[in-house]
């Protein structure tokens, strides 16, 4: 079985992907793709991985877990999603890195499913907006406590990916930039589900509808109907053009409001992020989906 784990990151997806997958549960099941409800596995997986730190797995641990998560026969592919798989928002930054201990969680997941192929999927976000966003999700803390001595200019997603690859070198890693998600949304859904490019899905334009005016969406859908033979690349260009004209400013603007975070710091972090994404593109065993 191929296990697809969409593990966030925080403040990017907000369960939109899993909700889209759940809309397609029946159609995907007919294609051998299972989309169990999050309530069937999120707490169960968390508790199981915690227990693994205390002792060895039972020989039938995988079978017992799958029996609790799945209904019916074992599928060819199973999609799981949890943006807190690596920890709570408060645990997203520490010791100078993103998600310290993430590699341990992935190593335990590999031990739990030794005979299956595992694909880790992450939507990344510019640290200049990611850190303020996850800080806002971490209650009862101040900035100094949250950062735990971390210099924001030291934060690199490539470092997180490298730690995970070192710990579990045989897993697949699929990444994308959250800033690009509106342009690649339908492609992402099909890619994570292992579907052919033109497979019909429900909710392929859900994200675009959140950030585009009603008038823009009506004209966008009308344009698609009149151009049914567009390639994936052509669709992305059309989406970009419509968003450029009809995007809702309130939905796409990102404000950064943290004590001591100057415009110069934000600019430097953004430049560092762009360089880091370029570095990730060249990492072996990693797929970066881009427009």
CATH number for the 2-201+272-289 domain, one of 2.40.160, 3.40.50, 3.30.300, 1.10.3470?
3.40.50
For residue range 233-242, what is the model confidence (pLDDT) as tens digits? 899 999 999 9
Q: Which residues of 155-189 are buried (b: 16+ CB within 10 A; e: fewer)?
A: bbbbebbbbbbebbeebebbbbbbbbbbbbbbbbb
Q: Cα 84 to chain center, whole Å?
A: 11
**Mean pLDDT over residues 250-256, rounded?**
74
| Angle at alpha carbon of residue 38, lines to 41 and 3, rounded to 5° | 65
* Cβ neighbours for 130, distance < 8 A, ≥ 6 positions apart: 9, 10, 11, 12
Residue 70 confidence (pLDDT) above 90: yes
Mean pLDDT for the chain overall: 94
pLDDT the model gives residue 34:
98
Residue 112 confidence (pLDDT) above 90: yes
pLDDT the model gives residue 54:
85
Residue 267 confidence (pLDDT) above 90: yes
Of 167, 63, 162, nearest to 105 by C-alpha is 167
CA distance 76 to 87: 28
Residue 182 confidence (pLDDT) above 90: yes
pLDDT the model gives residue 148:
86
Residue 124: band (very low, low, confident or very high) from pLDDT cuts 50, 70, 90: very high
For residue range 21-69, what is the model confidence (pLDDT) as tens digits? 999 999 999 999 999 999 999 999 999 999 998 888 888 999 999 999 9
pLDDT the model gives residue 88:
95
Give the alpha-carbon dihedral of 29, 32, 36, 40, to 10 degrees. 130
* Cβ neighbours for 214, distance < 8 A, ≥ 6 positions apart: none
Token pair for 44: 């169960």
For residue range 77-90, what is the model confidence (pLDDT) as tens digits? 999 999 999 999 99
Query: What distance, in Å, lies between the first and last C-alpha atoms of the chain?
Result: 29
pLDDT the model gives residue 139:
82
pLDDT the model gives residue 24:
98
Q: Please, are residues 52 and 111 in contact by the beta-carbon 8 Å criterion?
A: yes
Beta strands 93-94 and 77-81: pairing type? Answer: unpaired
Residue 257 confidence (pLDDT) above 90: no
Q: Which range among 100-104, 108-112, 135-139 shows the weakest confidence by mean pLDDT?
A: 135-139
pLDDT the model gives residue 255:
74
pLDDT the model gives residue 110:
97
Residue 108: band (very low, low, confident or very high) from pLDDT cuts 50, 70, 90: very high
Residue 152: band (very low, low, confident or very high) from pLDDT cuts 50, 70, 90: very high
Residue 287 confidence (pLDDT) above 80: yes
Going from N- to C-terminal start, the domains of the chain cover 2-201+272-289
Q: Which range among 46-55, 172-181, 251-260 shows the weakest confidence by mean pLDDT?
A: 251-260
Residue 75 confidence (pLDDT) above 80: yes
């Amino acid at each position: 079985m191929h296990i697809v784990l969409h593990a966030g990151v925080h403040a990017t997806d907000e369960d939109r992907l899993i909700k889209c997958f759940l809309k397609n549960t029946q159609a995907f099941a007919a294609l051998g793709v299972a989309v169990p409800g999050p309530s069937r596995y999120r707490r169960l997986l968390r508790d199981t991985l915690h227990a693994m730190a205390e002792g060895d797995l039972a020989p039938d641990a995988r079978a017992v877990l799958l029996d609790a998560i799945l209904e019916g026969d074992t599928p060819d592919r199973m999609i799981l999603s949890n943006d807190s798989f690596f920890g709570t928002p408060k645990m997203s930054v520490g010791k100078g890195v993103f998600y310290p201990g993430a590699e341990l969680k992935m190593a335990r997941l590999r031990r739990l499913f030794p005979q299956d192929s595992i694909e880790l999927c992450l939507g990344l976000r510019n640290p200049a907006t990611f850190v303020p966003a996850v800080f806002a999700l971490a209650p009862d803390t101040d900035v100094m406590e949250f950062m735990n001595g971390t210099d924001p200019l030291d934060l690199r997603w490539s470092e997180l990916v490298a730690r995970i690859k070192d710990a579990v070198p045989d897993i697949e890693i699929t990444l994308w930039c959250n800033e690009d998600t509106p342009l690649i949304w339908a492609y992402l859904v099909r890619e994570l589900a292992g579907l052919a490019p033109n497979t019909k899905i429900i909710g392929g334009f859900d994200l675009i509808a959140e950030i585009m005016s009603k008038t823009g969406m009506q004209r966008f859908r009308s344009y698609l109907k009149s151009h049914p033979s567009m390639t994936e690349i052509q669709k992305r260009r059309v989406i970009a053009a419509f968003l450029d004209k009809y995007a809702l400013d309130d939905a796409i603007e990102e404000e950064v409001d943290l004590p001591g975070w100057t415009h110069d710091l934000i600019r430097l972090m953004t430049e560092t992020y762009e360089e880091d994404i370029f570095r990730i593109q060249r990492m072996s065993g990693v797929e970066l989906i881009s427009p």
